[in-house]
Structure 1
Amino acid sequence: MNYTLHQLEIFKKIAETESVTKASEQLFLTQPAVSIQLKNFQDQFKLPLFEVVSRKLYITEFGKEIALAASKILEEVAAINYKSAIFEGKIAGKLKISIVSTAKYAMPYFLSNFIKQNEMVDLTMDVTNKMAVIRSLENNDCDFAMVSTIPKKLNIERIELMKNKLYFVANKNFKFPEKQGTLKDLNKPLFIFREPGSATRLAMERYLVKNKVEIHKKMELTSNEAVKQAVIAGLGISIMPIIGIKNELQNGDLQILNIHNLPLETNWNLIWLKTKNLSTVAKAFKSHIENNKKETIKNNFSWFLNHEIY
């Protein structure tokens, strides 16, 4: 047999996705290139690694065993590369971060220079809701988490990053008083909520309860992007973090509603378990954040931190 590491990586990804198309997309390769490598890899075995039924690809039991072995081989190769880089004085290894969905508009900017400066760091960033982020942190499945609400039940360390501002937003055709209005002026629209477990949803619910707003119609969507598109389409209104709607505000697709006691303000925090034994990579990233956060914020986020709607 004369298979290559490249073929192992491709087959491992095909086994994970059960799709040549999805594997090619995730590996940033063309579909024909992936198909050719899959055929060359299969030709080295007497038993089938996969089968196609009704145009859908299925991995055989033998194929699953080969995929598992491929995964272990690739992990060992990565470990060799990390060790080699470390002996050369480089920062090398894996960095795992779990973030709430709205933090995806901020965290890449805090990561950018660190990843560019340390090419041997492999980043995994899970984007999900608050409950899943806290569960990942609690189960030690990540090095760091980025949240706007500090979990009270966990003993954590944190670095405060920057403010998170949330406003009520509507599409460009929504009629609202030019001067500061009240929630009664909303004329009972449909309210668009994030799913349970979302920090944005919790902030919205607290605001509506505190101001005694009676909800007659509501919709629930499972991502910030879905909420944004629904508001742009005129389905209803929602409370959203301004950090995620910069282009839509500039293009005039969305408008911020000038309502009393808004914006709601929280703080983005990078958090980790106090008992966590941080790896060399994690310690390096923590140090990078501490030394560069002010410059990162100034260069990328001053537009919304200084935003006024009046």
Structure 2
Amino acid sequence: MPYSLARLLPRLSFRQLQVFHSVYQHLSYSRAAEQLGLTQPAVSSQIRQLEQALGQPVFEYVGKQLYITAAGERLEQVTRNMFADLERLQMELAEMQGQVRGELRLAAVSTAQYVVPYLLKGFLEQYPQIDVRLEIVNRARATQRLTENRDDLIIMGMPPESGALRSTPFLNNVMVPVVRTDNPLLQLDTVDPQTFLDANLLIREPGSGTRKALEQWCHQKRLTLSPYMQMGSNAAIKHGVLAGLGVAVLPKLSIQTELQLGELACLELEGFPLLRSWCTVHPAAKHPTPVMRAFLDYVQQQMGQLETLVYSEKT
């Protein structure tokens, strides 16, 4: 039998809930122990005490695989909100003292990993008491994290069209047709877009922002998109082009080094480059923390300088 609230509260501790969240994130007692600097028996003991207080298990093993129970899922939702409220309180108390401090939780789609370092360098110089936690995910996972409100902000190129989200563009995402420097297409006086698309096009998986942008452009131009090979990341596609597998459309940021070294070339093609925008995205109903507000303000203040810094004349 679970305890009443009056009897439950003295039997719960923040440490138990912290351990629970770590096990929940990793679905592993050993990895949670490593993250928290505890022994695995200590983690098991904390979870056992938590389950005794709640009157039902929050994790269960099926074979050797650890799974979250329905009770554990519900506990995670409640405690996640509770920890978020406590973190907000900590930030607001620091703000009352004229400080901006706390944790900024960012998630970025994989193509945005080339942009985020430029954002963070100056921001952390201005706000050294802020800790940043950054997750790199694909677009599908980023959209899911938005729905679950797991992050302060998502940085992505093509936000879902939803009135429940607030997106703010801050930097052009320049997408270019890319070939290896010995590709025969470079020897032609002109290349029509369909010829390029038929030259063994390497492309991201369905749902990727890069693929979505190219699909929209092909639809507008009434061109046929028949990919030669699908790959799971822009880095894999870049190396596929370098290996001579085919051609691709990639964010210019992701290939600047290879362009500078003369290993890849941008093909002159009608309709290119494709211009999309990197955006900061968060649920419209989300109340910004002081740390989140500081980051959003910083990004907006640096828009002009960021464009120059990121797209400097390296290529």
Aligned-partner residue type, residue 265 of structure 2: Q
Q: 1:44: which partner in 2?
A: none
Aligned-partner residue type, residue 228 of structure 1: K
Q: 2:122: which partner in 1?
A: 113
Q: 1:280: which partner in 2?
A: 290
Partners of 2:236 and 2:151 in 1: how far apart?
A: 26
Alignment partner of 1:245: what SS?
helix
Contact 1:166 1:241 in 2 (8 A): yes
Distance change (3 Å), C-alpha of 1:264 and 1:134: farther
Q: Which moved more, 1:12-21 or 1:98-107?
A: 12-21
Instruction: Work out the number of aligned pairs and report it.
Output: 300
What does the per-residue CA deviation read over 1:109-151, in whole Å, with 9 as the maximum and x for residues that have no partner? 11222223232334344432156336525x3222222233243
Paired residue for 1:166, among 146, 167, 175? 175
Partners of 2:231 and 2:239 in 1: how far apart?
A: 10
Alignment partner of 1:276: what SS?
coil
Structure 1 stretches of 5 or more lacking a match? 1-8, 28-33, 39-70
Paired residue for 2:241, among 221, 224, 231? 231
Contact 2:175 2:250 in 1 (8 A): yes
Paired residue for 2:250, among 203, 224, 240? 240
Partners of 1:24 and 1:165 in 2: how far apart?
A: 43
Aligned-partner residue type, residue 160 of structure 1: P
Contact 2:153 2:280 in 1 (8 A): yes
Aligned-partner residue type, residue 172 of structure 1: T
Q: How does 1:36-75 map to 2 (within 5 A)?
A: none
Q: How does 1:87-126 map to 2 (within 5 A)?
A: 88-116=97-125, 117-126=127-136
Alignment partner of 1:277: what SS?
coil
Aligned-partner residue type, residue 229 of structure 1: H
Aligned-partner residue type, residue 202 of structure 1: K
What's the CA shift for 1:271?
2.8
Q: Which moved more, 1:85-94 or 1:254-263?
A: 85-94
What's the CA shift for 1:208?
3.6
Is 1:218 the counterpart of 2:228? The answer is yes
What's the CA shift for 1:261?
1.4
Contact 2:171 2:277 in 1 (8 A): yes
Partners of 1:16 and 1:142 in 2: how far apart?
A: 14
What's the CA shift for 1:170?
1.7
Is 1:271 the counterpart of 2:281? The answer is yes
Aligned-partner residue type, residue 257 of structure 2: N
Q: 2:150: which partner in 1?
A: 141
Contact 1:131 1:198 in 2 (8 A): no
What's the CA shift for 1:275?
2.0
What's the CA shift for 1:273?
2.9
Alignment partner of 2:302: what SS?
helix
What's the CA shift for 1:154?
2.6
What's the CA shift for 1:99?
2.3
Structure 2 stretches of 5 or more lacking a match? 1-17, 44-79
The alignment yields a C-alpha RMSD, in angstroms, of 4.8
Q: 1:154: which partner in 2?
A: 163
Alignment partner of 2:122: what SS?
helix
Contact 2:104 2:130 in 1 (8 A): no
TM-score, structure 1 as length reference: 0.68
What's the CA shift for 1:161?
1.0
Contact 2:170 2:300 in 1 (8 A): no
Q: 2:272: which partner in 1?
A: 262
Partners of 2:239 and 2:294 in 1: how far apart?
A: 38
Contact 2:176 2:249 in 1 (8 A): yes
Alignment partner of 2:154: what SS?
strand
Partners of 2:228 and 2:104 in 1: how far apart?
A: 39
TM-score, structure 2 as length reference: 0.67
Aligned-partner residue type, residue 241 of structure 1: P
